[in-house]
Copies of this chain bind each other. A is one copy, B any other.
Amino acid sequence: MKNFFYDIGTKIYFGEGSIENLGPAIKPYSDKVLLCYGGGSVKKTGVYDDVVNSLKASGIEWVELSGIEPNPRVTSVNEGVRLCREHNITAVLAVGGGSTIDCSKVIAAGVAYEGDAWDLVIGKASITKVLPVFSVLTLSATGSEMDPTAVISNMDTNDKLGVKHPDMRPVASILDPKYTYTVSKYQTAAGTADIMSHIFEIYFSTVKSAYIADRMAEAMLKTCINYGVVAVNDPENYEARANLMWCSSLAINNLLSYGKGTAWSVHSMEHQLSAYYDITHGVGLAILTPHWMRYVLNEETVDKFVEYAKNVWDIDCDGDKFAAANKAIDKTAEYFKAMGIPMTLTEVGIDETHFDIMAEKAAAKYANIFVPLTKEDVKNIYRMSL
């Protein structure tokens, strides 16, 4: 097992009605927050009302930034930073899914930096100080509610990049599974695929000695498989929504990667897809994942896939190892399909046009991953996914 430093300070208020803790959780940190949300669905669903009622009850003022995009843009970050300065805001509250939370994190980091917030994303400038971040989660997917990372897009340069700082981990997050009842079938499926992909990125790695992390990863994969289709078909199933919601946070809050590290084999490829085509992140991941698995399956990796086949899919692995591994990959693709995810790039409007530049950008990210991939490898996987 690799050495690690465990530090997961985010407090989670989990369960139906947990919104009542929002105001009291923020109050010790701030009397005036920037309330960030997306296209306004939170107003239709009533979450917005719950949030402002909790803020009011604790005597917390707010200024709003709405319209944060899926694949949030740096332009929204800069607008948020401007509002924080103008109104002397002392904390940032995200109400929504990963995009809104990611945007809120970089706003919180951007207030103390004079230049364009994009500098912080590309590492041209360092994050020095971050306003306290809080979140009310409405979509189980990215895990941003409990992790220190944000992914921001710049449509001028077709870049979608991650940025990380320990102080960007939310101070507290509200996880009420009922807030995800109105999530569409499509987004529920994409979110579940995103969670599964986060787990795969840790599970399929070169570190073999972190047994406990591998078994926990399998526990979480089983959770996604047990409840993904259920939540798609029965959106008000509390047990399914609750297990998926908690799984989204645990999958990427570092718990699984401590002792192992994260390979990001597929995320790097997908980030190029959504940077160039603005597709739903989880859908891109679901499309690429089975092809990536097939591509990296070889004599060296087959034992890991057999472990996956046996422990996650209950596949009989006593016979040919490659047959078992391929069956597990088939099952993976079938599961994404069963949730209603389009399983080709063609279906989501992506053709070969940008494969070259996307593959070049993705391949630049590959250092110590499960199986190293060159630009040509990435292009091959993109082609297999058409």
- Tell me, in angstroms, the Cα distance from A359 to B15 when the chains sit together: 37
A223 within 8 A of B: yes
A110 within 8 A of B: no
A1-35: which residues lie under 8 A (CB-CB) from chain B? 1-18, 21
Residues of B with C-beta under 8 A to A211:
223, 226-227, 239, 243
CB of A343 within 8 A of chain B? no
**Of A54-62, A212-220, A296-304, A334-342, which binds chain B?**
A212-220
Asked if B9 contacts A14 (CB within 8 A), the reply is no
A242: Cβ under 8 A from any B Cβ: yes
For A3, A220, A250, the residue with the greatest tally of chain B CB atoms inside 10 Å of its CB is: A3
Number of chain A interface residues as a range: 35 or more
B246 touching A1, Cβ below 8 Å: yes
Complex interface bits, A255-290 against B, C-beta within 8 A gives 1, otherwise 0: 100110000000000000000000000000000000
CA distance A226 to B16 in the complex (A): 38
- B259→A1 contact, CB < 8 A: no
Which residue on chain B has the smallest CB distance to residue A15? B3
Cβ-defined contact, B243 with A1, below 8 A:
yes
Partner of A14, one of B3, B16, B238, B255: B3
- Which of B11, B15, B243 makes the CB contact (< 8 A) with A212? B243
Q: Tell whether A5 pairs with B1 under 8 Å between CB atoms, given A212-B250, A223-B211, A250-B212.
A: no
Task: Please tell me if the beta carbons of B6 and A11 are within 8 angstroms of each other in the complex.
Answer: yes
